[in-house]
Structure 1
């Protein structure tokens, strides 16, 4: 498949690089509070229960703002929405660096969550204006690696910054980084050229309707399967971000330094796997494979494989090191859904609704981020760290196995595109005067 005439590789990858940097900042902002929790709580005399409330406040407006900004992206250029996000992230770090009370931190983190919620879907929407359909897998996968890089960078640098300059310095540095990104984006950020009026879906003869009813979109089997796979992948990711370090230390008996190193290995393992699977999917598309095969089957098989490994971890007694290596294998497979499901959704929905649909998808999928840690926390409270996490691994396994089966059965973007277009045309015909 030859590149579209308006595809500009150098500019497209320059925008992808900027959005990867934005993703890195996003995850630094997310994790910094947890990294400075001990000195912050001691300095401001915040009890653990109050700190837990502050930490959860980040997600109070997260999903709501994701949906609202997604609808705005149907009308406002992504260039300006992303600039507004970058500036707001930087500005909100300043009162956090100067905070003298728990209330200040809670309000700032709540607002920061609202500002950061739309980052991923709006970034993907912006990327899709630069990359044609058969080239979209890899750039989204690269942008997702910014999140992983942010987690690794936080683990390596924030403790050192805190040790030398105190916990407030990390927020000040993040404010400077966010401001620097915003200035650069203002100078180089542009809207992509691959936009236009409704036409033909890539590789098919199906006409793209100007708009579709949202109720009809979210009843489509491919969309529902994307939601299921994304939710289950996010469930596993959320546990890795919250409870996994504690499990490695208290459940498997590693010392704190070794725990940090193993956690870095687990986080880093997803980077090459996601990139390779996204590259393979893209090669298959260019060779003429259907999106169902090149995207849907890859995501579903990755979920099934990850679920199978989690099932082994939950049911077989293993020494700490082999168990940790298997956790790394299981954790690196489901995240490919974050790179490939947006591309399938973009195949189905009209361009005018792409931003809002991607944002609704992200909002629903990210609900797993607030549910999974709470569920496993209750299990740990009842059964202890080791016993509770074993049940957590079993839940991971069952969710991913079910999602993989649903994906194999339901993921079919080509069929969904045809069905949605036909339903829209039939509805329009029924409403037109005889």
Structure 2
């Protein structure tokens, strides 16, 4: 059957835009606490250590809920799961605006983290129900731009709101935005039926579920997990240590550092969208997924690793280092669009939500480990030394090269799909 049967572009792209808006809200929710840290700590009388516990609590149940809801998305329509997330995010902003104790804030952040953890895998799973395989790169790439816009809006709007109305007003605004999105999604959001049509129109043959132990031991699946781990490692390192690197090591003022940080964030957008488009174009022209996705991704990883390493070259000015860093971080970001697409090729539709959830949960541990390791490196070699930070960012280069080598050796989506794609008669056990 033609993979475009049942494809409805207008509805598919409307769903993509709505979910991109939810991604924007997701990142605003994540970053708002850090951006109101100073007045919040002062008013609630929190020490830096106490604030660190509150901020880190967001991730305590993040991975657990991601995996659990990933499995749930195999059985429950993503439309309702996403609506539940939007409502919970909106409601949980209210107590953060009203309460004044560390314990209340801690509880809210733990529950909010659990509610936001499954967003990405469930959103990708929802989009894949609207788009055929050869058209899946661009919608997920666009979804990822919601995060970039969210970071930019946070930098522009949260300081203004805090200055005029106080830090608590930010949580009220986020609650209202989440509520508006939830109402809009309830009225407009629908479940894609591309996968269901592929099954019902294929006669009496369906693709049976594959044992999870087989999927999780597949070299191709494990290779995708390693690619994701390296990409999240880089993201966690950059988001945590780039501002300090710009201000303490490169000597920029606080305002200029903020502008340079925004430049680095913005640079990722055209690279992610452009490489995703190129991959999709290659697929449309008959290239294999191995060439259009795996090799392209490995080239992006290798180029990014070379640029991270180039930061340590003598003679580069601070401005040149910012430009190199921006491109180094932008190239591997295409992984966030291509990795789920690779998994969706290998994994049966009925198990796709769970596997993308597991991938996100495992890969995101890279973002948790990298900042701690780089912190040790910076502390050892000096917090004001550019070389100390650059040695830390070199860990990202090492991870990217390792992941690319693993993928080039063991990631073969076509052969992995044939191994999983074992049809049985309809209704067979």
TM-score by length of 2: 0.95
Q: Quote the residue 2:49 is aligned against.
A: 49
Look up the SS of the partner of 1:7 in the other structure.
coil
Q: Give how far 1:318 is off.
A: 2.2
Q: Using a 3 Å threshold, how does the CA distance of structure 1 residues 283 and 29 change in structure 2: closer, same or farther?
A: same
Contact 2:272 2:334 in 1 (8 A): yes
Q: 1:262 aligns with which of 260, 263, 286?
A: 260
Q: Give how far 1:208 is off.
A: 6.8
Q: Using a 3 Å threshold, how does the CA distance of structure 1 residues 103 and 414 change in structure 2: closer, same or farther?
A: same
Q: 2:325 aligns with which of 314, 324, 327?
A: 327
* Count of aligned pairs: 421
Contact 1:198 1:350 in 2 (8 A): no
C-alpha distance in 2 between matches for 1:283 and 1:67: 32
Q: Quote the residue 1:61 is aligned against.
A: 61
C-alpha distance in 2 between matches for 1:323 and 1:225: 31
Q: Give how far 1:315 is off.
A: 4.7
Q: Quote the residue 1:221 is aligned against.
A: 219
Q: Quote the residue 1:402 is aligned against.
A: 402
C-alpha distance in 2 between matches for 1:145 and 1:198: 29
Unpaired runs of 5+ residues, structure 1, are none
Q: Quote the residue 2:144 is aligned against.
A: 144
C-alpha distance in 1 between matches for 2:256 and 2:45: 30
Q: Give how far 1:317 is off.
A: 5.0
Q: Quote the residue 2:306 is aligned against.
A: 308
C-alpha distance in 2 between matches for 1:382 and 1:102: 32
C-alpha distance in 2 between matches for 1:62 and 1:126: 20
**Deviations 1:73-101 (Å, cap 9, x if unpaired)?**
01100000000000000011000011201
C-alpha distance in 1 between matches for 2:328 and 2:26: 25
Look up the SS of the partner of 2:195 in the other structure.
coil
Matched, 1:74 2:85: no
Q: Give how far 1:106 is off.
A: 1.1
Contact 2:304 2:328 in 1 (8 A): yes
Alignment of structure 1 residues 26-425 onto 2, 5 Å: 26-196=26-196, 209-385=207-383, 386=385, 387-421=387-421
**Structural RMSD (CA):** 2.0
Q: Using a 3 Å threshold, how does the CA distance of structure 1 residues 174 and 71 change in structure 2: closer, same or farther?
A: same
C-alpha distance in 1 between matches for 2:228 and 2:130: 24
C-alpha distance in 2 between matches for 1:2 and 1:241: 42
C-alpha distance in 2 between matches for 1:260 and 1:374: 22
Moved more, 245-254 or 371-380: 371-380
Q: Give how far 1:198 is off.
A: 7.3
C-alpha distance in 2 between matches for 1:180 and 1:198: 34
C-alpha distance in 2 between matches for 1:400 and 1:114: 29
Q: Give how far 1:197 is off.
A: 7.4
C-alpha distance in 1 between matches for 2:23 and 2:198: 30
Look up the SS of the partner of 2:192 in the other structure.
coil
Look up the SS of the partner of 1:131 in the other structure.
coil
C-alpha distance in 2 between matches for 1:241 and 1:389: 13
Contact 1:231 1:368 in 2 (8 A): yes
Look up the SS of the partner of 1:190 in the other structure.
coil
Contact 1:198 1:209 in 2 (8 A): no
Contact 2:219 2:411 in 1 (8 A): yes
C-alpha distance in 2 between matches for 1:174 and 1:103: 21
Q: Using a 3 Å threshold, how does the CA distance of structure 1 residues 145 and 253 change in structure 2: closer, same or farther?
A: same
Q: Give how far 1:314 is off.
A: 3.3
Q: Quote the residue 2:14 is aligned against.
A: 14
Q: Give how far 1:384 is off.
A: 2.0
Moved more, 163-172 or 379-388: 379-388
Moved more, 315-324 or 365-374: 315-324
Q: Give how far 1:3 is off.
A: 6.3
C-alpha distance in 1 between matches for 2:77 and 2:128: 13
